[in-house]
Amino acid sequence: MGDVKLEHVTKRYADVTAVDDMNLDIRDGEFVTLVGPSGCGKSTTLETIAGLTIPTEGTITIADREVTNLPPKDRGIAMVFQNIALFPHMDVYDNISFGLRLRDFDKEEIERRVERATEILQIQGMLDRMPEEMSGGQRQRVAIGRAIVREPEVFLMDEPLANLDAKLRVHMRTELQRLHKELDTTIIYVTHDQAEAMTMSDRIAVLNEGQLQQIAAPLTCYNEPANRFVAGFIGSPSMNFLEGELTADGITTDDFAVEFDVAALDGYGPGDDVTLGVRPEDVHLEENADELAHPTTPFPAQNDVIEPMGDEIFVYLIVHDLEGGGQEGAVTERDPDEQVLMSVDPDADVEMDARVQIVFDRSRLHLFDTRTGDAITHGLVQPASGVDQRAQGAESEGDD
């Protein structure tokens, strides 16, 4: 049983609170990734689970046993570090078997476990090599092998791919997924790379300033972010945010309005400041509005910067104060807060400085409280009905 539970875990360093009242319940065999920007407390959280740091408050339970103050060796866990940390004077076999020899395992058992680990990691022919003779990816595999042979209840991984080049990182991502499938052990993984988090995890825990923002399946975090931070952090390129105000008929901003049933929003009404969130792939040119089940009313924008990416084109649009700008190409404002990023197909006909009409996919719009940042609703198809409206929107699309 490799379930891990953190209850009200807090870690303070002098004036800084690195982890603030963290509650996590990780199930046996789950792959959970702690993700967030630098300094958000993800590594400190992992270190409290590992026993490298003792929390100031709270309790940590691993496999139904409280381990808050136990040393790392008594927690039934193994950890893979970012810096790999192989012993340079030991060959691969000795590095992998180090932990077992330290615990006085008999030779036959050590050989059996090392053989199994090297088989899983496909490094069988390298047992007598020294670390300096291996590539970064191979060294990282040895470090993972060192953790595997321990047969722990929980694997902890602290940005193990951060020092690898981009191509190898993508390859190792699939290797780790395969490893998880094969071992079926709980893995708690820390990364600041949201692509790693999205692709490998059963659930991701998004952290900011030491606090847990949301823990959910990757697609839930993407489609139904709990707040504006999660919405902005998950997804690349980031979600567009447009501030506005609720009216009796919907939301209005300086530049456009989206009508929906405001009365259906729980606890919000006309006059409240809200922020509309829309992902770049949910911004469309008016000519493509027919493909959408629930397009908004078109509104004008002007192409500012165009970035061809190969498989798609990113178009930075200026939406603010176009009416006063008059002629095409006359807009000079370049405030990033007043830009909307649109992602279009690579064969789309887009020109720099051209005036266009754009629509949003209503079923993919998000509404946040401007003051608190909390999500109010996801999907603004008529009628609005709370944060789980996405599912209803999807159903009605299916009916169409």
Partner 1 sequence: MVSTVGVVYVVGVTVLFFFWVYGIYAFARDLRHRYLPAIRAYLEQRRDDAEATRAEEEREEREQQLY
Question: Can you give the binding site for partner 1, defined by CB under 8 A?
Answer: 50-52, 71-73, 77-79, 81, 85, 98-99, 102, 146-147, 150, 156
Query: Judged by CB, which is closer to partner 1: 51, or 250?
Result: 51
Query: Judged by CB, which is closer to partner 1: 79, or 258?
Result: 79
Query: Judged by CB, which is closer to partner 1: 144, or 341?
Result: 144
Query: Judged by CB, which is closer to partner 1: 71, or 383?
Result: 71
Nearest distance, CB of residue 78 and partner 1, angstroms: 6
Nearest distance, CB of residue 392 and partner 1, angstroms: 47
Q: Tell me the two tokens of residue 307.
A: 């970035």
Query: Judged by CB, which is closer to partner 1: 78, or 274?
Result: 78
Query: Judged by CB, which is closer to partner 1: 100, or 251?
Result: 100
Nearest distance, CB of residue 152 and partner 1, angstroms: 9
Nearest distance, CB of residue 196 and partner 1, angstroms: 21
Cα gap 31→48, rounded to integer Å: 18
Query: Judged by CB, which is closer to partner 1: 76, or 393?
Result: 76
What's the DSSP call for residue 214?
E
The closest alpha carbon to 186, from 211, 162, 163, 153, belongs to: 153
Nearest distance, CB of residue 73 and partner 1, angstroms: 4
Query: Judged by CB, which is closer to partner 1: 155, or 256?
Result: 155
The residue assigned the tokens 């609703």 is 377
Nearest distance, CB of residue 3 and partner 1, angstroms: 19
Query: Judged by CB, which is closer to partner 1: 71, or 386?
Result: 71
Partners of residue 276 on adjacent β-strands: 242, 367
Query: Judged by CB, which is closer to partner 1: 71, or 346?
Result: 71
Give the angle subtended at the CA of 386 by the CAs of 211 and 277, to the nearest 5°.
60
The closest alpha carbon to 232, from 31, 36, 10, 54, belongs to: 36
Backbone torsions φ then ψ of 117, nearest 5 degrees: -65, -45
The single-letter code of the amino acid at 340 is V
- Per-residue burial over 143-178, b = 16 or more CB atoms within 10 Å of its CB, e = otherwise: bbbbbbbbebbbbbbbbbbeebeeebbeebbebbee
Backbone torsions φ then ψ of 221, nearest 5 degrees: -60, -35
CA 305 and chain centroid, separation: 27
Nearest distance, CB of residue 16 and partner 1, angstroms: 17
Residues 6+ apart with CB under 8 A from 366: 225, 231, 239, 276, 277, 278, 375, 377, 378, 379
Contact 224, 367 (CB under 8 A): no
Nearest distance, CB of residue 95 and partner 1, angstroms: 8
Query: Judged by CB, which is closer to partner 1: 156, or 230?
Result: 156
Nearest distance, CB of residue 79 and partner 1, angstroms: 4
DSSP string, 227-278: BHHHHHHSSSSPPEEEEEEE-SSEEE-SS-EEE--GGGSTT--TT-EEEEEE
Query: Could you tell me the CA-to-CA distances from 257 to 300, 359, 380 in Å, in that order?
Result: 12, 11, 12
Cα-Cα-Cα-Cα dihedral of 47, 53, 54, 59, to 10°?
0
Nearest distance, CB of residue 116 and partner 1, angstroms: 17
Cα gap 161→170, rounded to integer Å: 9
Nearest distance, CB of residue 52 and partner 1, angstroms: 5
